[in-house]
A and B are shown apart, each in its own frame.
Chain A
Amino acid sequence: MRPFTYARPDAAADAVATLAADPDARFLAGGTNLLDHLKLGVVEPTQLVDVTGITSTEITELDDGGLRIGAGVPNSDLAADPRVRERYPAVAAAILAGASGQLRNMASTGGNLLQRTRCAYFADPTTPCTKRDLSQGCSARGGWARYHAILGASEHCIATHPSDLAVALVALDAQVQVLGADGARTIPIAAFHRLPGDDPTRDTVLAHGDLVTAVDLPAPTPAVANSTYRKVRDRASYAFALVSAAVALEVREGTVVDVRIALGGVAHKPWRATTAEAALRGRPATDDEFRAAIAAELEAAEPVESPLGGNAYKIPLVTGTVVSTLRGLAGGVA
């Protein structure tokens, strides 16, 4: 591990100013992803700025009926909060589907959104990776691509975003509160993570020094109160998603009134399935309609073929996951 200095400022503005003045500095929050990357040599900062004492660890009620989650709230506390469990079940379920009890105790809300891809080549500095270094090539294309993207990828990067929480937040239209060198601003979660395009080194729209201070959940709608998160993985626990879906559904007299679908494990960012949602609104809540809607969404899918394991299997897997999750929320057998 390269040497670094350690700073613990008293105020968020100081932390932001410190990073803004030092391109080689990084924020430290829960550290679960950063410590691993420091050991692997994936990142080599010269200064760590500890924000654990200055980001809020509170969950507070907003005037509009929503909830504000401090960026420092541990994942375990967020999932256990009675208001979150009751009003936003997809959020609690998504967190509980990820990592382990120890990691959820350590990891912060802000850090969860900012965790990096688990692409094996990204984590291995001895292999080329455009996400680590734009001048290099992508080792995953033609390599071990089983976990990789089927939607929205570019020639430079087929990595997927690993967060479960972010998928639920995208389905629920959460807002991310950010403090930057020029002051505070709000970013809709759907616009927070990026597709890789020409610059896969950037996972989000944040600039260096931007600090996530909170995540706001909007007032729950009937669909959000009837939401859940389904994750499919290689083993029953403590594994990243092959595919996942955060789904919210309101059905009245057999007709879909409101539906939100976000997919994990399929793209460089949590993928809001707007095509499928539009296809379902106003339609009967039946398996055939569910299947047709997700098929319309996946028309744009471009699975990766590889002698070491491709990812075409994700198309039927996403289809089955979304259809069964919708069926369960509509009152049928999930």
Chain B
Amino acid sequence: MTTTIPMSITVDGERHDLDVDPRTTLLDALRERLGITTTKKGCDHGQCGACTVLLDGRRVLSCLTLAVAKDGAHVVTADGLATDGELHPVTEAFLANDAYQCGYCTPGQICSAVGAIDEARRGMPSAVTADLAADVTLDRSEIAERMSGNLCRCAAYVNIVSAVEEAAHR
């Protein structure tokens, strides 16, 4: 017998109150409890990145996050990136660059790209940043490294890098 715990979470601007079993991941809370299926379940073990969302502004893996531990948090999925019916620049760039094939990994790729571009703008280095003390320029090698946590089994990587590059320099 498991006791559920009340919590609230804001997803794409809308607040939800729910009771959760402590075992419920944020991913399962989104998909199974709130019916928000934009966020995809791939490996469910933190290896593929399909479940990436922005949690309080940072890209994280919702499959390795317990919902109960994020009471009061703000989550943005790929759906919530649009404003006033206008697609987010990263989403536009994915369309313009044909940066997907089957599309299953795309919501996670887009959330991850938004997070990665923001991290670079805040000056956060990566493993391929030549000078750790210098500013970061998002070239193709930096983008590939920063997006390495998002797998695409269709291997649309070349166009994904192009899309992120275009969005980053817009």
Contacts and interface: CB of A to CB of B under 8 A. Distances in A.
Interface string A35-46: 110111000000
Given A89-B132, A92-B125, A100-B149, A5 B64 contact: no
Contact of A3 (B2, B60, B63, B66): B2
B61 interface: yes
Interface in A226-247: 236-238
Interface stretch (A79-87, A196-204, A281-289, A321-329): A79-87
A97 interface: yes
Interface string B96-135: 0000000000000000100110010011111101001100
Interface in A49-95: 50, 52, 76, 79-80, 82, 85-86, 89, 92-93
A102 B59 CA distance: 5
Given A3-B2, A93-B132, A106 B61 contact: yes
Contact of A86 (B69, B127, B133): B133
Given A36-B45, A48-B22, A79-B124, A105 B58 contact: yes
A80 B122 contact: yes
A105 B59 contact: yes
A48 B25 CA distance: 14
B5 interface: yes
B44 interface: yes
Contacts of B23: 1, 3-4, 38
Contacts of A101: 59, 112, 115-116, 119, 126, 146-149
Contacts of A106: 60-61, 64-65
Contacts of A236: 145, 148
Given A106-B61, A106-B65, A237-B148, A5 B124 contact: no
A32 interface: yes
B123 to A, nearest CB: 7
Contacts of B124: 76, 79-80
A28 interface: yes
Contacts of B115: 101-102, 105
B66 A102 contact: no
Contacts of A1: 23
A313 interface: no
Q: Which label, helix, strand, loop or mixed, suits the secondary structure of the A interface?
A: helix
A35 B115 CA distance: 22
For the side of the interface on B, what is the size category?
Answer: 35 or more
A100 B59 CA distance: 10
A131 to B, nearest CB: 19
A301 interface: no
Contacts of A238: 148-149
B45 A102 contact: no
A149 to B, nearest CB: 23
A218 interface: no
Contacts of A50: 69
A15 interface: no
Interface in A89-141: 89, 92-93, 96-97, 99-103, 105-106
Nearest to B141: A236
B168 interface: no
A35 B51 CA distance: 14
Given A28-B66, A101-B146, A106-B61, A76 B127 contact: no
A101 B49 CA distance: 10
A103 B127 CA distance: 14
A4 B22 contact: yes
Interface of A: 1, 3-6, 8, 28, 31-32, 35-36, 38-40, 48, 50, 52, 76, 79-80, 82, 85-86, 89, 92-93, 96-97, 99-103, 105-106, 236-238
Interface of B: 1-3, 5, 21-23, 25, 44-46, 49, 52, 58-61, 63-66, 68-69, 112, 115-116, 119, 122-127, 129, 132-133, 144-150
Given A35-B65, A86-B132, 7 more contacts: A38-B23, A48-B66, A50-B69, A86-B133, A93-B132, A96-B127, A101-B119
The 10 A-B pairs with the shortest beta carbon distances in the complex, nearest first, are A100-B149, A237-B148, A6-B22, A80-B124, A238-B148, A35-B64, A96-B127, A3-B2, A85-B132, A105-B58
